[in-house]
Homo-oligomer: A and B are copies of this chain.
Amino acid sequence: MLHSVPDIDNSEALTERQQAVLDAALRLLVEEGDNLTMTAVARRASCSKETLYKWFGDRDGLLTATVQWQASKVRVASVDGKGLDLASLTASLERFASDWLKVISSDTSIALNRVAVSHAGSGKDNLGAVVLENGRFALAKRLKPVLEAGRKAGLLEFTDAEAAFRTFFGLVGRDVQIRLLLGDRLELTEAAIGGDAIRATQQFLALFGAKTGPQGL
């Protein structure tokens, strides 16, 4: 179980300039990975190191702020569970799957996860918690209401929404994320992602779809 992240609703006391600095840091993080230097960030952001330290305390603070800043920006689209028929449920699930695959295969997501994983071992694993909270747990929070709505509408059958979500998560992600994080070239074209989303959704429905009479085919 993950501890609650201090404050999810960040992006509060961040001036435009600070956001620009964090964006520069993020771009650098994507390019250079964890081995970016404070000097490089300062140069890229056209600001002084003194400002960096005044605003973010130290290197870890800057990294944390950067990860939080980007993580809070990435929100997978939410879907309201009003249309309760099978078609709209299927569409919603495909949408979630597609969005999720697009997120985890993006350069920034890979970079963020990389640095979070790198820092997860040593003490203050704030980054890991942040990434997890804005990634996998945020997805769960958005998807579960849809699943519940599907169940209430008699379209899905499951006892534990968490378990159902995790299965969906596995069917969508499979080995993609770990392969990308480990540096495996694995280009996901728009078309491939779409196909995967449809496949994962169909498999999920085959496992958790309500059996309405004998299904042919």
Interface residues of A (CB under 8 A from B): 1-2, 32-35, 111, 113-114, 116-118, 120-122, 125, 128-129, 131-132, 136, 166-167, 169-175, 177-179, 181-186, 203, 206-207, 214
A167 cross-chain contacts in B, Cβ below 8 A: 171, 174, 203
A33 contact set on B, CB distance < 8 A: 118, 121-122
> Separation in Å of the A27 CB from the closest CB of chain B?
14
Q: Which of B118, B132, B186, B214 contacts A118 (CB 8 A)?
A: B118
Assess whether B183 is in contact with A174, with CB atoms less than 8 Å apart. no
A167–B34 alpha-carbon span in the complex (Å): 32
Nearest B residue (CB) for A217: B211
Q: What's the least CB distance linking A170 to chain B, in Å?
A: 4
Q: Which of B132, B169, B173, B203 contacts A182 (CB 8 A)?
A: B132
Task: Identify the closest chain B residue to A34 (Cβ).
Answer: B118
Q: Which chain B residues lie closer than 8 Å to A170 at the CB level?
A: 170-175
A34 to B188, CA, bound (A): 30
Residue numbers in B under 8 Å from A171 (CB-CB): 167, 170-171
Cβ contacts A to B, 7 pairs, < 8 Å: A1-B184, A113-B117, A128-B181, A129-B182, A129-B183, A173-B175, A181-B181
Task: Contacts A170-B171, A170-B173 given; indicate if A120 touches B183 (C-beta within 8 A).
Answer: yes
Q: Given A35-B122, A173-B175, 8 more contacts at CB 8 Å?
A: A1-B186, A2-B185, A111-B121, A114-B120, A132-B179, A170-B175, A177-B178, A181-B181
In the assembled complex, the CB of A210 is this many whole angstroms from the nearest CB of chain B, namely: 14
Q: How far is the CA of A107 from the CA of B43 in the complex (A)?
A: 39
For A214, the chain B residues whose CB sits under 8 A away are 214
Residue of B nearest to A184 (CB): B2
Known: A121-B34, A125-B183, A183-B120. A166 touches B177 (CB 8 A): no
Q: Are A116 and B182 in contact (CB under 8 A)?
A: yes
Alpha-carbon distance A183/B128, docked complex (angstroms): 6
